[in-house]
């Protein structure tokens, strides 16, 4: 009997443990997603994954911690669409202190069910920047007005849907105005200021938000677990290479590696590294809105540098390549937000390194062309041979371990004397006295 009681007690403890684990797993938490950097398609996938996980976990809310200076309009709209249609409340929190929500970040903030900022942060400057060939300068006045009006209508709709200041949102687009977190709270651009994530979660407790379907949800955040959704290794890598500066470096290294392999076949390493970097650069540029003219100018620059190596252009081709490289680099992402352009300092550094590389290659090629041949028949010219059979004028000489038929161009030479090869014709050597300066090149 006691044994039976122990068995029942053991089974009861197992059941209680399983139930408690199930309750713990089922208890809703808060999903935290982190954005730091430019808004790109890689971030779209990451945020989509994070919100989807929050929905699967039946989370109380999803919090997006954001620090961005802007990014691609298409990626921003995809993120906004995901937030607006989310089945859980989404909170956008501009943090930590010193962070900002600029350009595309303004639209994302205003699309959230709750907008919050940390102390010493800023929001604003949402004027649309045309990305593509020629940038905004290439657009007609009418087209610029259409782009701005479309952005104004979009941001006002987002602000109005959550009861925020639509007039300020319009100014953020038209006049590129920016405000601090305190001004944003006073002007009803955001709902709260929180120094850190725990403080934000505490302030969210009991707050009511209206979802897209009109359903009012009350947030119960006190004591809930925080579930962070971090970028995967692949997402982190792809996000890194879609930075315009990294993409530019990969493009430069890729082209240099391929050219180095062409000039020195069999090295393998430059070709492999160059090929990998070039493919990664193509992927990165495909994720970004690039100016095709800029890409073509950079390719032309490398073509001119190569032509300078093979064709003596007295530096004209190399000079043209340098100009083409700099202009192409400057307009590669022309018209994009500051975070979506190549840093001018990086352009200067890469240009100097590339010019230095090709200057080194050109110097080596010129030196090689000027050097006397050291192999083959041409390499015999100028060498010293020993007479084996008298040259009068024809006889035999010993050179490089072989016997050669030789013809004396001047004078008579006896066996044992040393002569200098002046030229080679077929299998015959033409020789002269060793100290003679008449050597044909």
CATH architecture of 377-433: Beta Barrel (2.40)
> Over 50: is that where the pLDDT of 18 sits?
no
108 pLDDT tier (thresholds 50, 70, 90): very high
128 has pLDDT over 90? no
Listed by start position, the domains of the chain span 26-235, 244-370, 377-433
Cβ within 8 Å of residue 373, ≥6 positions away: 379, 381
pLDDT band, residue 59 (cuts 50/70/90):
very high
pLDDT at 309 over 80: no
* Domains 26-235 and 377-433 alike in fold: no
Residues annotated as part of the active site: 103, 146
Considering Cα of 43, then 44, then 49, then 53, what sign does the dihedral take?
A: positive
Q: Does the reported pTM lie above 0.85? A: no
pLDDT tens readout for residues 218-236: 999 998 999 999 999 999 9
For residues 75 and 205, is the Cβ–Cβ distance under 8 A? no
- Summarised one tens digit per residue, pLDDT across range 342-391 is 888 898 998 888 888 877 777 776 666 555 555 556 667 888 899 998 88
CATH for 26-235 (3.90.1150.10, 1.10.3430.10, 3.90.226.10, 3.50.50.60):
3.90.226.10
Cite the DSSP H helix spans in 266-407: 269-287, 292-310, 316-330, 344-370
Residue with token string 């008579």: 412
Mean pLDDT of all residues in 97-121: 95
């Amino acid at each position: 009997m006691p044994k039976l009681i122990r068995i029942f007690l053991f089974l009861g403890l197992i059941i209680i443990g399983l139930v408690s684990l199930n309750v713990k797993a089922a208890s809703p938490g808060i999903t935290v997603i982190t954005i730091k950097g430019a808004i790109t398609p890689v971030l779209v996938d990451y945020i989509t994954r994070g919100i989807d996980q929050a929905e699967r976990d039946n989370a109380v809310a999803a919090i997006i911690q954001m620090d961005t200076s802007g990014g691609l309009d298409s990626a921003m709209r995809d993120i906004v669409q995901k937030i607006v249609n989310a089945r859980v409340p989404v909170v956008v929190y501009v943090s930590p202190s010193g962070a900002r929500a600029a350009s595309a970040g303004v639209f994302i903030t205003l699309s959230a069910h709750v907008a919050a900022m940390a102390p010493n942060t800023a929001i604003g400057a949402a004027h649309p920047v045309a990305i593509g060939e020629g940038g905004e300068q290439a657009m007609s006045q009418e087209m610029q007005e259409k782009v701005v009006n479309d952005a104004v209508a979009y941001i006002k709709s987002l602000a109005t849907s959550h009861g925020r200041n639509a007039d300020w949102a319009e100014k953020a687009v038209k006049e590129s105005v920016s405000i601090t977190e305190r001004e944003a709270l006073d002007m009803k651009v955001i709902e709260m200021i929180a120094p850190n994530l725990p403080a934000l979660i505490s302030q969210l407790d009991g707050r009511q938000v209206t979802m897209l379907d009109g359903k009012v949800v009350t947030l119960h955040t006190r004591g809930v677990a925080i579930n962070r959704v971090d970028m995967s290794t692949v997402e982190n890598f792809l996000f890194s290479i879609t930075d315009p500066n990294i993409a530019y470096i990969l493009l430069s290294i890729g082209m240099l590696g391929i050219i180095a392999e062409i000039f020195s076949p069999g090295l393998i390493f430059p070709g492999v590294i160059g090929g990998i970097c070039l493919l990664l650069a193509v992927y990165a540029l495909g994720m970004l809105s690039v100016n095709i003219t800029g890409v073509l100018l950079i390719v032309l620059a490398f073509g001119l540098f190569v032509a300078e190596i093979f064709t003596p252009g007295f530096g004209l081709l190399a000079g043209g390549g340098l100009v083409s490289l700099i202009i192409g680099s400057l307009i590669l992402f022309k018209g994009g937000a500051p975070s979506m352009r190549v840093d001018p300092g990086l352009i200067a550094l890469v240009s100097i390194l590339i010019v230095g590389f090709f200057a080194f290659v050109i110097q080596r090629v010129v030196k090689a062309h000027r050097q006397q041949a050291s192999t083959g028949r041409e390499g015999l010219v100028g060498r010293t041979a020993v007479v084996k059979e008298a040259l009068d004028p024809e006889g035999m000489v010993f050179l490089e371990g072989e016997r050669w038929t030789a013809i004396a161009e001047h004078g008579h030479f006896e066996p044992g004397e040393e002569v200098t090869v002046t030229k080679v014709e077929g299998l015959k050597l033409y020789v002269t006295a060793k100290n003679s300066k008449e050597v044909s090149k």
